[in-house]
Amino acid sequence: MFNKLVETYLPYPELAHLLIYPILVIILASYSLYARHRNHRLKLPVGLFICYFAVMSALKLTEHFDLPSIFGILELVSTIFLTLAIIRFVTFIFVDYLMRYKKLAPIPVISRDIGLVLVYLIAILMVLRYQANVNLTSIITTSAVLTAVIGLALQDTLGNLISGIVLQMEKPYNIGDWVSFDNYVGRVIGMTWKSTRIITREKEMVSIPNNTITKSHILNYTQPDPNHVATLYVGVSYKDPPNDVREVILTTISEHPSVNPFPSPEVRVIKYNDFSVDYEVRFSLSDFENEPKIKSHILNQIWYRFKRRGLTIPFPIRTIHQERFDPEKEAVARDQAMHRALANLKRVDVFDPLSENDLANIARQVRFEQFSAGEIIISEGDAGTSMYVIVRGECEVIIFEGKNKEHIIARLGAGEFFGEMSLLTGEPRTATVRAGKDMICLRIEKEDLEEIMNAHPEVAEAMSVMLAARKEGLTQYKDTLKEAAKLANKKLASQFLTKIKKFFNIT
Ligand code: CMP
């Protein structure tokens, strides 16, 4: 048909026959060079057409010489090129172009390539069979040596191909997922029958052979949930209370815009190390790509917040503490503690009748104690000979109904005290006291007060008033609970009575 067109429409058909194919080769080769960066999928069909036209140019030349065998071979080769070019072009139109245009889900490269190779093989076998009368199928299937040679030569390639098929079926990752395998972390940008390509955070492209991937552990950070838990480690000085450290870290993390609120961040003490108390910080992130940046930002902020709150990140140096007693230093420290205790004792109303000197005497003997939020300081029913003045924080006074049901009957804060009932009466503790927030207290023992109480009975009086009021409150609460229990019992009894009457048909 092509020949007929040339003969009908072109002058000098002989010359046209000779020149038309080289011209087509030049046109297509120029297009291919010009558009080489545009559509790489079009390269192969265009290349095959160029080969076809090139072979046809040679064929037209041989027509003028008497070379029947070369003519036959060229004719066969040209048919093979034309067939392959058409198959590839049709695939380009339907698979590459139309599917993308219609935004259909792309066919995986491996499946497409395997399909294409099969169609190519069938097409070549058919051309050989019907044009050259060569039956390659029987040769291939009967030649064990050929099979073995091909098998050995393609060992690696086949391994990659099979691994590629396994990965396609199992789908441990998709394009766009953040993964880690074979010591590389990156985002998957492509999967072929030979390898999987990823782009690392450093913007390097790594091609990892498929059979290496199937042999290694695959970590997918995007699936099934793109949120992933990041971990940070912070070492803080021994002198800083863990709850203060936890609070600062948690605030910093929770306020960071890239951190997910759920699951909520966690801060755990993981080790009492040589120089520091070590904390593990865990929080949820969706932006895996920027994880190192976010972590660095958080650590940065933690440094500033620690600085403001007086928390210390210690140097990794070994501090040698020489146990040499320095009486002067010791006296200064004791004096400072006494003044701090005195300032806090002055805030307690019942000690108002006492002079500065009396209070200083008590202050010299008391000690500071720290409690973390949630810690039980006093348990109901225990024996006790000490009371506590709250310096910082807050506590809850609790009575229990049964083993588990608790009732908070009072909350006490800075300047208030608790534990005075057992200290003054010698009776067991009347309630349980639990730290509601982190607390610092002054602990006063019975002996610390003995002398002062003897000298100032008005203090005992003021305390007994307070004690009576508290006892009253406590008794009232306990009575209310008893009443409620009695009522509940009565209600239950009446419910049982109704049931029994119904059961025995008593009217
Ligand atoms: P004590 O009995 O030694 O131990 C429990 C403490 O709880 C008690 O001393 C009081 O200090 C405190 N407490 C008991 N009842 C009340 C109350 N109603 N209000 C405030 N504090 C109380």
CA distances from 212 to 109, 153, 161 (A): 19, 19, 12
Q: How far away, in angstroms, is 385 Cα from ligand 1 center?
A: 13
Q: How far away, in angstroms, is 344 Cα from ligand 1 center?
A: 20
Q: What is the pTM of this model?
A: 0.56
Q: How far away, in angstroms, is 453 Cα from ligand 1 center?
A: 20
Are the C-beta atoms of residues 198 and 187 closer than 8 Å to each other?
Answer: yes
3-state secondary structure of 36: coil
> Tokens at residue 25, please?
């080769």
Identify the DSSP state of 259: E
Are the C-beta atoms of residues 53 and 29 closer than 8 Å to each other?
Answer: no
Q: Which of 449, 434, 436, 417 is nearest to 347 (CA)?
A: 417
The CA distance from 222 to 286, in Å, is 9
Q: How far away, in angstroms, is 447 Cα from ligand 1 center?
A: 20
Q: How far away, in angstroms, is 310 Cα from ligand 1 center?
A: 34
- 19-26: list long-range contacts, CB under 8 Å, 24+ apart: 21/53, 21/54, 21/56, 21/57, 21/60, 22/53, 22/57, 24/53, 25/50, 25/53, 25/54, 25/57
Q: How far away, in angstroms, is 421 Cα from ligand 1 center?
A: 7
Nearest ligand 1 atom to alpha carbon 423: 3
Nearest ligand 1 atom to alpha carbon 417: 11
Ligand 1, pocket-test mutation among 470, 478, 479, 480, most atoms within 8 A of CB = 470
**Residue 47: CB atoms within 10 Å:** 17
Which ranges of 351-425 does DSSP label H, i.e. alpha helix? 356-365, 420-425
Q: How far away, in angstroms, is 359 Cα from ligand 1 center?
A: 23
pLDDT tens over the chain, length 507 residues = 566 666 676 666 677 777 888 888 899 888 888 876 666 677 888 888 999 989 988 888 887 777 777 888 888 899 999 999 998 888 888 877 777 777 666 666 777 777 888 888 888 888 888 887 777 666 666 666 667 777 777 777 778 888 888 887 778 898 899 999 888 999 999 888 788 999 999 999 999 998 899 888 999 999 888 899 999 999 999 999 999 999 999 999 998 989 999 899 999 999 999 889 999 999 999 999 999 999 999 999 999 899 888 999 987 655 566 666 778 888 888 899 999 999 999 999 999 989 999 999 999 999 999 988 888 899 999 999 999 999 999 999 999 887 788 999 999 999 999 999 999 899 999 999 999 998 999 999 999 988 888 888 888 888 889 999 999 999 988 888 888 888 888 888 888 888 888 888 887
Are β-strands 266-272 and 205-209 bridged in parallel, bridged antiparallel, or unpaired?
unpaired
Q: What lines the ligand 1 site, CB under 6 Å? A: 378, 384, 397, 409-410, 418-422, 429-431, 433, 470, 473-474
Are the C-beta atoms of residues 28 and 49 closer than 8 Å to each other?
Answer: yes
Helix, strand, coil percent values for the chain (each to nearest 5): 55, 20, 25
Ligand 1, pocket-test mutation among 349, 409, 418, 420, most atoms within 8 A of CB = 418
